[in-house]
């Protein structure tokens, strides 16, 4: 990712960020740089697998089929967990409208809600940083008198 010059982070940094948002999310790194082992040191604990692109270029190969099967299993489990979590949140929400929740139920509802909103908050935080950077750049232009007048 960094090597392409499009972003200033690599796959392992992105994986760590995503893992912080959702610990249950299945994360795979597909890479053309699998032989650069130093680039992935520590990432083994953040992702389900680091897959060299040459192993999946031909989808008919046994290696590609194995990776596909593992990925689909992880996605199925992730979706099952998400669906159960969404149903539990719904049940707790309905109950909370009828009667007070127990402290344990309230804690569980708060946990599910924070896990659900974490990706939204992370996206907002990223946009907030981008806006802050833009404001700082504009302020420097204004302060330096380099702002062109129209």
Tens digit of pLDDT for each residue in 86-115? 899 999 999 999 999 999 999 999 988 887
Those residues whose C-beta lies under 8 Å from the C-beta of residue 51, and which sit 6 or more positions away, are 28, 29, 30, 31, 34, 67
What pLDDT, on the 0 to 100 scale, is given for residue 103? 95
pLDDT band, residue 10 (cuts 50/70/90): confident
Where do the domains of the chain lie?
Answer: 11-143
8 A C-beta contact, residue 43 and residue 30: no
Q: What is the pTM of this model?
A: 0.55
Summarize the confidence of residues 14-30 as an average pLDDT. 84
Highest mean pLDDT among 6-15, 38-47, 131-140 belongs to: 131-140
């Amino acid at each position: 990712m960094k090597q392409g010059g499009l972003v200033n982070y690599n796959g392992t940094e992105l994986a760590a960020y995503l893992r912080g948002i959702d610990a249950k999310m299945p994360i795979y790194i597909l890479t053309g740089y699998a032989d650069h082992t130093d680039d992935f040191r520590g990432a083994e604990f953040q992702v389900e697998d680091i897959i060299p692109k040459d192993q999946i270029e031909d989808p008919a190969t046994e290696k590609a089929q194995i990776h596909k099967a593992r990925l689909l299993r992880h996605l199925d489990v992730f979706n099952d967990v998400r669906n159960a979590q969404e149903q539990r949140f719904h049940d707790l929400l309905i109950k909370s409208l009828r009667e007070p929740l127990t402290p344990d139920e309230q804690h569980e509802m708060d946990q599910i809600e924070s896990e659900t909103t974490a990706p939204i908050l992370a996206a907002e935080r990223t946009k907030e940083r981008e806006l802050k950077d833009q404001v700082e750049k504009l302020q420097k232009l204004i302060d330096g008198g380099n702002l062109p007048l129209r």
